[in-house]
Structures are given as C-alpha cells and as structure tokens.
Amino acid sequence: MTELQSIKSRFGIIGNYPALNRALEKAIQVAPTDISVLVIGESGVGKEFIPKIIHSLSHRKHMPYIVVNCGAIPEGTIDSELFGHEKGAFTGATSTRKGYFEVADGGTIFLDEVGELPLQTQVRLLRVLESGEFMKVGSSNVQKTNVRIVAATNVNMMKAIADGRFREDLYYRLNTVQIDVPPLRERNGDIQLLFRKFAIDFAEKYRMPELELTPEAAGYLSRYNFPGNVRQLRNLVEQLTVVEQKRQMTADRLAEYIAPSAPENTNALVRTSQASSDFNSEREILYKILFDMRNDINDLKSLTAELIKTRENTELSHNEKNLINRIYRPETANPSSLLYFEGNNNPQSATPLPATDDEYVEDVEIEEEQKEPESLSLQNNEKELIIKALEKHKGRRNKAADELGISQRTLYRKIKQFNLED
C-alpha cells in the first residue's frame, strides 16, 4: 500500500476507488517484465498514466519513452512515422528517416488510440510484437528492435474485430495483460478530491484565489454523469477559475456550465432503442388498424342515422329497433342488457327498457349476423393491409414497408407468418 501511495503522489493521481487502485496495482506488478499491456477505458479517464508508471518502474526507465497518438497521424504517413522510410520511398521523402520503433530501441512505446490503426499498419505491428523485426518504407532490409509496447484504446475491441476493423491476432498479442481504468461516474466519491486538486493547481497557475464548493454544489457534482470523465472536470475547474468573479461555487452557478443531469450511458440507450424498435413498429400498425376500425364504426353510425331520418314516418321493424338501440343506447345503460324503444320511432325521445331473455338471445344472434360481413380480427385486417400494400407497390417490400410505417424486417416476418411468400 505504501508503494501505491508513493505512485499516486509521484504522478499526481487522486482517488481511492477500488477499481482505480486495482488498475495501478496491476501496472506496478507488470512493470518489471517486458510483456505487452493493453489499457482499456473511456476517453478522458487518464489512461496515459498507466504506461508512464510501467515505464518508470521497469528496467527500461533510462531509455526513450515515446507516445504515439495513432488516431492523429494520417493513414498515408503512419507507416513512415512508426517504422521510418528510405530516401525516395515516396513523394517528399528527400532523405532517410528513422521511425519511432528505431528511435525507441531499448525503451517503451505508448500507442494511444491503437484501435484507429489502419489494417496494413496492424500487420507490420504484429510482426514487431512477434519477432521484433520491421522494415522501413521503401526498404527491403529487415531491422531489429527491442521495444516494450503499451497500447490504449476507448474502442470496443470485440466489436472492432467483428466488424473487420481490427485484427484478432494483434489484439491478443497486445492484450497479454489488460488494465481497465474506471470512468469518473463510478468514482463519484473522488470527484470532490479531484476538484480540490485542480482548483489548487489553477489558482497557482493563474495567480488567483482558490475555488471552493458549497455543500449543495459538491452534491451537484457528485450526481453529475461526467461523460468527458476527468478531462471534463479539469476543464470545468480551469474555466471556473478564470471566468468566475466569486470564489465560492454554488449549485446554481455550476448549472450554468454543465447540465442539471447528465444523460445515462449513450451505448445503453442505443441498445434499448434498437431492442424496442420492432415493438414500436408492430404497435404502430395495430394503431393504424384500430383507427380504420373506428372509422368503419363511425360510418355505420352515420348510415343508421340516415336510415332513421328517411324513415321517420315509417314503422320500424323489430330488428331495426334492436340495431338502433345497440348503436345509440345511453352510456348509463347496463351493458349486460339490451335496450328497446317503446311507442316511438325517434331514438332521441325513446324510453329504454330492459330486454327479456328471449329478446336477448334473438338480439345476440342478430348482432353476430351483423358482424359476419366484416371481420374485426386484428390479424385478418393486418394481413389484408400487407397484401394491399404489396399489390400497390408490385411486390416491392421496401416500398410496402414504408407505406405501412414498419421496418422491412418486421414486414418480412409478417409475410412469413401469413404465408404470403408467393
């Protein structure tokens, strides 16, 4: 534990979160060896401290330590930067140049954002890891180098491998030991300590009084998500130190610089959205079917009203009375009984009476007969809509899916479900 505290003090690392301590302990343990290390963590968590610790505690500490940001070097020149080039190897190569692997011989190279390396460069790097050999661009001479490689990335490497953007064999060569650096949102107990350190540093740098947090402001920061991690907190403190006139920060003042509540993990939201997309598509088509059914019922009511209007002076039949009662029965009526008109053909002034058992049976049969011409089955209506959409667009499923407001995958599944493949 004494060595761990010494390392924290030496490199200015603040915090006591167990996962952070574990990452530092692993760095201390692997430092005396020459095995390659892969540091995993989100952008801004401070991954760059791990290779510094490893190099400073290794037998290579007096040899060169070179940091290479793989994502900042253009694809066309990265091979030359890493492995060097011969004079005339390409346009602009006016002289022979040493690459980082030649310059750092005997030392350590930190490959930051290694997940951004082009595939061609990944092949060259794999050869260095396996045999310590490389060739300059434009040269056929094999050179040897003795370099310890520490790499870091914020990319999901398993996904990059599945997408063909990163070589699986190189990943396992780099990942002999993996060190995970936790995000700041998991270290909310360390946020006030970090704020205090940055406030002291920037107060000294800009020769200004030190910032302080009210209890409400401290709680506000602890609840914030910090998507930019430690880097975001550091930039926030620097901005507050320079811009703010008052030295005591309240929650209201902090809210002007950062949102009241940070969004949850974006990748989780994306996965949730993708998982619910099919459900939303099916719900939309059901809503569409129900809307069409409601329109049909409204049309039926309109037709019945027209029938009443045209036959005001005509004796209505028993069945017609039953139909009108079902459509226009008062909302306060008991739904378990049917209503009839007595002595009046006008439904607005009719007196509702409960039906007898015989009339109830007869009326149920009539109701069933009325439903037979038009099926109210959701499945049948859904099938009919899909058939009409496919016919309208001459079998083009992408157009039919757009017409129905559903995804193509959902449409394919429905076509298979209803046996509409032909």
For tokens 């940091």, what's the residue? Answer: 67
332's tokens: 């306060």
pLDDT at 316: 54
DSSP letter string over 73-124? S-TTTHHHHHH-B-TTSSTT--S-B--HHHHTTTSEEEEETGGG--HHHHHH
CA 47/CA 67 separation, integer angstroms: 12
Prediction pTM value: 0.61
**Residues of the chain under the 50 pLDDT cut:** 262-279, 330-374
Rounded CA-CA distance 170/157 in Å is: 11
The reported pLDDT for the residue numbered 419 is 80
The span from the CA of 139 to the CA of 154, in Å, is 34
| Inter-residue contact 101 to 134 (CB < 8 Å) | yes
Q: Does residue 339 contact residue 329 with C-beta atoms inside 8 Å?
A: yes
pLDDT (0 to 100) of residue 2: 77
Contacts of 415 (CB under 8 A, 6+ apart): 386, 390, 397, 421
- Give pLDDT, residue 176: 95
What's the distance, CA 412 to chain centroid?
A: 26
Residue 95: how many CB atoms within 10 A of its CB? 8
- Tokens at 88, concatenated: 């005339």
Amino acid 332: pLDDT? 42
The Cα angle at residue 266 between residues 262 and 272, in degrees rounded to 5 = 120
| Residue that has been written with the tokens 């003795």 in this structure | 146
**CATH class, range 186-255:** mainly alpha
pLDDT, position 104: 96
pLDDT at 422: 60
Instruction: Specify which residues 213 forms β-bridges with.
Output: 249
Are the CB atoms for 224 and 258 separated by under 8 Å? yes
**Distant-in-sequence, close-in-space partners of 184: CB < 8 Å, separation ≥ 6:** 44, 45, 190, 191, 194, 226, 229, 230, 232, 233
Cα angle vertex 9, ends 183, 206, to 5°? 80
Class of domain 2-182: alpha beta
Q: Which amino acid is it at 68?
A: V
- Give the amino acid at 327: I
Domain extent listing, the chain: 2-182, 186-255, 311-374
Q: Which two tokens stand for residue 66?
A: 């070179």
- How many CA atoms, within 13 angstroms, populate the side-chain half-sphere of residue 132? 11
Q: Which helix (H) or strand (E) covers residue 143, if one does?
A: strand 143-144
192 backbone dihedrals φ, ψ, rounded to 5°? -65, -35
What does the block give as tokens for 11?
């490199």
- The position carrying tokens 């899916």 is 401
User: How far apart are the C-alpha atoms of 53 and 31, rounded to whole Å?
Assistant: 8
Question: How is 151-173 classified by DSSP, letter by letter?
Answer: EEE-S-HHHHHHTTSS-HHHHHH
